[in-house]
Structure 1
Amino acid sequence: MKRTGTARVVALALCASLAAGCGVVSGVTGDSGDGPITVMTWAPEKTAATNKPGMPAMAKAYARWINAGGGINGRELRILTCNDHNDTVGAARCARRAAKEDAVAVVGSYSQHGRSFLAPLESAGIPYIGGYGVTDDEFSSTLSYPVNGGQAALMAGLGEQLARACGPVALVRPDSIAGDQLPLLLNSGLRSGGHRGAEDQLAAEDATEYADHARQALRRASGDPVKRGCVVPALGDRTSTFMDSFRRDRKDYPAVRTASVLGSVDQSLVDATGGRSGPYEGTYVTGWYPVETDKRWDRMKKVIREHAFDDNRIDPADPGVQTTWIAYTVLTSVIERLGDREVTAQAIRNTLDNGMRVTTGGLTPPLTWRFEDLIAAAGFPRLINPEVTFQVVHKGRLVAARQGFVNVEKTLVDAEL
């Protein structure tokens, strides 16, 4: 990466009383002179539901690596982190803090409360680069620049992966707004391959056990005497809790397989539950990116080894960590493109909107956010990357079930959302 030269930035201040509601001039946030370039990464930590502590930790490690090499165009990258606590108030507070501290972008972050954080970001003109993709709002706001296809692409892709592999399919998913679209997307993929669709089971996202749900799902998935059924737990961090209940009853239904998406199942979870002798052996998994053992992740792993200082929150197999890495790759490319021009939120947005093409070392297809690059999926007007990977747990390791990326654009467009 090029890290030479000096970016000149005009000092532009937000209204000092933003929190009191006086308003912000859109797109003027930025750093002054030769000072640091400030960005923010947020994620929930230590909550009862989904947690992604590795994402802000990865952002800090990335900044240490970049700054050790002289920064971006000679300027230090300063990272602000925030815990949104998995609630609307926390998400909004993080966004307001980003505006107050003149962040030029929010990068590589996770939050289930898109409406709460996007409104303050839009008021300040701050771009949201590489969100995890867990909410629809990330795929509708003109200030959002997603790097993957979000949960929509994962579920549509999983449906395609399972259409010919499974008999009856039982989906166990959160009883939440974010969970409501999962059956529609999964079924779109299943039906694209001639499958009748999945049985939909709602479950609490923060439950401490899922015994009843596991038994019901196993019964539903075992209804075909000819073709093996599949149970699809899509419960985020609580997938492992579901599987504790599932494995106790699975002995009565040995033919039933499991399937899920990255974020609900990853290599660390497979390892922690027994590897090849555990409940995930043979599980079908759909992801956004290549498997963690792929050589394309070597640079990220090297940065983690040398700059994370044994921070055990950072797991290179975590798709949240991987998303943060890719999002910061985009940010760095944009700022390098700006050269000696002002590094402001508006300058970053203009560069992305005007057709800049970002390559990520093969971890995603080339990314560009021009209008003509957006796919025509209802409800996801900002989605530019409808490609996923098919994986399977084989001998205790997540490996590629099919080489290369699989484009699920048609399935997303056809989904009845």
Structure 2
Amino acid sequence: MTGRRRTSSTLLPGFARTAGKRALTAAALTACASLAAGCGVVPGVTGGSGDDTITVMTWAPEDTSATNKPGMPAFALAYARWINERGGLGGHRLKVLTCNDHNDGIAAARCARRAVKENAVAVVGSYSQHADSFFPVLEGAGIPYIGGYGITTKEFTSPLSYPVNGGQPALLAGLGSALAEHCGPVTLVRPDTIAGDQLPTLLDAGLKEGGHAPSGDQRAPEDATEYGGHADRALDAATADPARAGCVVPVLGDRTGTFMDSFRRAREGHPAVRTATVLGSVDQTTVNATGGASSPYEGSYVTSWYPVATDRLWEPMKKVVQEKAFGDNRIDTADAGVQTTWIAYTVLKEIVESLDDGEVSADAVTRALDDGLKVSTGGLTPPLRWSFQDKLASVGLPRLVNTDVTLQVIRDGKLVSARKGFLDTAGTLRGVPVS
């Protein structure tokens, strides 16, 4: 295939952080002076003196032609307003800088450099495909990356990464295990990017564990405006076995809905062909917007890192949005990015409150995590603790500490649990070495 579009550079191993202590100072906590670089700060939070203020950054792509996650920085700002009204983090006022990485490596590196310049103690609850651009900057300054979206392999290898979920590896492996029992031929439609290149191996690991043949791999542009040809080819593959209808798995982020518009028309006359995907490519809002119970997603299996959005465990997050988001329609509490940001800030809160001496710096935050701090997320994930000797270190994913996923299904237009509790994908992922 000629003219392949690549949106991130080759995934490289992490390198060690510098050990210099980076205590907060008044000069380092000045507000973001300009929004031209895509950065913002919490309104009304202008910093403080000494240890009175903790500065962090949350970044994500916004207003691009590919995947966008505007709810993540928007929620981070709402969280800061909410926590500051309650006395801050361990008595410290929280200042949140936001940045738009534009789905671009240069912009992602610029965001990271801004975090260094502003003496951020962490980058929290963020999304970027451009780990090779921003991680060297963070690692050079010793700034931890807490609760990234799990979209790149580097998030599970860097010594300064502390992911709260299993990323694409866990979602795809769990989905493969579920589909092995229910599907004939399986076709994966995924982005023609470096990040997308990792997906077939992960899905196939789950299929293999269930005794199923590998999936068909269809590459597609991640910013297309229609997918008619891809939908036709996927449907042809799904109907190749007359004895057992197949499944089509679109994992195209924001463009999954665009694919499904094309697939709905192509599937006419073949109702037995099912679709399946991962949270982040579809959520309840997507189902509602595409017809509810008559949506092309009806009957689809969906894997997620977390419980369904209607679970009572999300009530504390929803309270923050109700009280402090002021009707911000960028924030959808069913969005996996917003949910990840909530969990990441929950982790940050526990870290700060664990620091007995009161010093809050990038070094202090990293030291607490590396010393084995166990963090509770209120049941939304298993207790989290990061170690380079963890269960998936042998296959090149030393930072992947949460291998649990949930299996959900779209039934009568509602995303509901397909099985109780979590599915642990650790055993499946042990057979998938990182390339």
Class of the TM-score when normalised by the shorter of the 2 chains: over 0.9
Partner residue in 1 for 2:68: 51
In the alignment, what sits opposite 2:114?
Answer: 97
Give the 3-state SS of the residue equivalent to 2:286 in structure 1.
Answer: helix
* 1:259 equivalenced with 2:259 (yes/no): no
> Unaligned stretches of 5+ in structure 2?
1-22, 29-46
Cα distance, 1:348 vs structure 2? 0.3
Aligned to 2:381: 364
- Say whether the 8 Å CA contact 1:104–1:343 is kept in structure 2: yes
| Contact 1:377-1:409 at 8 Å conserved across structures | no
- 3-state secondary structure, aligned to 2:181: coil
After TM superposition, the structure 1 stretch with the greater mean CA deviation from structure 2, 363-372 or 253-262, is 363-372
Paired position in structure 2 for 1:73: 90
In structure 2, the residue matched to 1:314 is 331
The partner residue of 1:11 within 25, 42, 50 is: 25
- Relative to the length of structure 1, the TM-score reads 0.92
Code of the aligned partner of 1:350: R
- In the TM superposition, residue 377 of structure 1 has moved relative to its aligned partner by 5.3
Deviation of 1:12 (Å) = 8.9
Which digits, 9 at most, give the CA deviation of each residue in 1:133-173, with x for residues without a partner? 00111111100000001111111111011010111101100
CA 1:12–1:352: 2 relative to 1, 3 Å: farther
Say whether 1:382 aligns with 2:390.
Answer: no
Matching residue of 1:115: 132
The counterpart of 2:173, out of the listed 156, 168, 174, is 156
Is contact 1:154-1:286 (8 Å) kept? yes
Q: Distance in 2 between matches of 1:228 and 1:62?
A: 46
Q: Secondary structure at the match of 1:37?
A: strand
Runs of 4 or more, structure 1, over 6 Å off, are none
SS at match of 1:341: coil
Q: Is the 8 A contact 2:185 2:240 kept in 1?
A: yes
Query: Which string of whole-angstrom CA distances, capped at 9 and with x for unpartnered residues, describes residues 71-126 of structure 1?
Result: 11222100000000001100000000000001000000000000100000001100
1:158 and 1:336 map into 2 onto residues whose CA distance is 37
Give 2:101's aligned amino acid.
D
Residue 4 of structure 1 is matched in structure 2 by: none
1:338 matches 2:373? no
Partner of 1:176: 193
2:311 equivalent among 268, 290, 294 = 294
Partner Cα separation in structure 2 for residue 225 and residue 379 of structure 1: 40
Q: Does 1:128 align with 2:142?
A: no
* Amino acid aligned to 1:148: N
Cα deviation, residue 369, structure 1? 0.7
What secondary structure does 2:52 align onto?
coil
Paired residue secondary structure (1:201):
strand
**Cross-structure match for 1:5:** none
Kept in 1, the 8 Å contact 2:25–2:51? The answer is: no
Q: Distance in 2 between matches of 1:32 and 1:324?
A: 27
Identical-residue share of aligned pairs (%): 65
Structure 1 residues 377 and 32: alpha-carbon distance in aligned structure 2, compared to 1, 3 A threshold: farther
Q: CA deviation at 1:302?
A: 1.0
Indicate the SS of the match to 1:132. Answer: coil
For residues 235-266 of structure 1, the C-alpha deviation after alignment (integer angstroms, 9 at most, x for no partner) is 00000000010001111321100000000011
In the other structure, the counterpart of 1:20 is none
Q: State the shift of 1:375 in Å.
A: 2.1
Taking structure 2 as the reference length, what is the TM-score of the superposition? Answer: 0.88
1:55·1:324 contact (CA, 8 Å) conserved in 2?
A: yes
User: What is the aligned partner in structure 2 of residue 19 from structure 1?
Assistant: none
Q: How much does 1:65 deviate?
A: 0.9
Counterparts of 1:10 and 1:48 in 2: how far apart (Å)?
Answer: 38
Q: How far did 1:416 drift?
A: 5.1
| Counterpart pick for 1:397 among 402, 414, 417 | 414
2:394 and 2:176 mapped to 1: Cα distance? Answer: 17
Q: CA distance change for structure 1 residues 330 and 311 in 2, over 3 Å: closer, same or farther?
A: same
